[in-house]
Amino acid sequence: MKRFMITLFTMVLTFCGVRACVAEAAPAGVLPKIRMEQQKQEYKTPQGQVCIVTDYTRLIVENADAFPALSKRLEEIHNREWNYRMTDEAREDYKDAVELKKYRPEDYMFYLLEERIWQKYLDRNILSLYVEYYQSRGGAHPNIDIFTYNFDPVTGDFITMDGALAPGKRDEFREKYVKPALEKVKKERQLFYFDNYKTVVDDLFRRDYAGEPPLTWTWGDEGITMIFPPGTLGPAVMGPVEAFVPFKGNEKLFNEKYLK
């Protein structure tokens, strides 16, 4: 998954570098209409048993004439990439999945690779999407990867953490807001973090700034939510950990362009 995220982020930057990410503004008051279509595919054994099911979400901008840059961007860096990823992983897993069916012929026993997307926020300046990739390959515990997309709806550009924050606020945001929010969540949920979890947070912010896989976050009506996937800050059994930082009272921390 790490390699996939690096590839995805590189594609975003390269795409903007190769051509100018310029788009005509859509009519005032008009927002993109995002339709999500599940692309389900079944793979069967030579005996006709379903051994792998892949399912990813195709993102379609219904009013693409008003938002052509966003429509093209979603098609190129999400739809095509996930179609390739699912096909490639199914091909790599096929032999093992067929072997599993020899010992577990039950109809419910198959490899499941499933991507789901939730639209967390949308206005004229930002489209924020939350993505989960669920992978069950016959083991006792499935694997769940989490990442996010944050786009400018008009230009289709990828919005970085530095773009969402006011200039020069990255370190302050991390130290005075994210880490205290994580401590609050730890207490409320009675979580067990790794002893070095603060160092992990520092490293994630450093790598994001260096152009490696971006931080995982979503924009909302009342604040920004930092998301740390399972196994990042503590044992994977804890699930994802979310740190919420409200806009109210912290307006100077954020890029005023994205605040209502």
pLDDT tens for each residue of 133-182: 999 998 778 899 998 999 999 999 999 999 999 999 999 999 999 999 99
**Cα(120)–Cα(198) distance, integer angstroms:** 27
pLDDT at 207 over 60: yes
pLDDT tens for each residue of 79-110: 999 999 999 999 999 999 999 999 999 999 99
What's the average model confidence in pLDDT over 37-42?
A: 97
CATH fold match for the domains 2-159 and 162-258: no
Low-confidence winner among 65-74, 208-217, 230-239 (lowest mean pLDDT): 208-217
For tokens 């792998």, name the residue. Answer: 52
Return the CATH class of domain 162-258: alpha beta
Pairing of strands 143-151, 127-136: antiparallel
| CB-side neighbour CA atoms (13 Å) of 33 | 7
What's the start-to-end Cα distance of the chain, in Å? 34
Q: Is residue 48 classed exposed, middle or buried when 0-12, 13-18 and 19+ CB atoms within 10 A define those classes? A: exposed
Q: Can you give the pLDDT at residue 24?
A: 56
Task: Give the list of residues 6+ apart from residue 201 with CB closer than 8 angstroms, or none.
Answer: 174, 178, 179, 182, 228, 233
* Domain residue ranges of the chain, discontinuous segments joined by +: 2-159, 162-258
Task: Give the list of residues 6+ apart from residue 87 with CB closer than 8 angstroms, or none.
Answer: 54
> Candidates 2.30.30.60, 3.30.565.40, 3.40.30.10, 3.40.50.2000; correct CATH number of 2-159?
3.30.565.40
**Cα(148)–Cα(133) distance, integer angstroms:** 11
- With bands split at pLDDT 50, 70 and 90, how would you rate the model's confidence at 29? confident
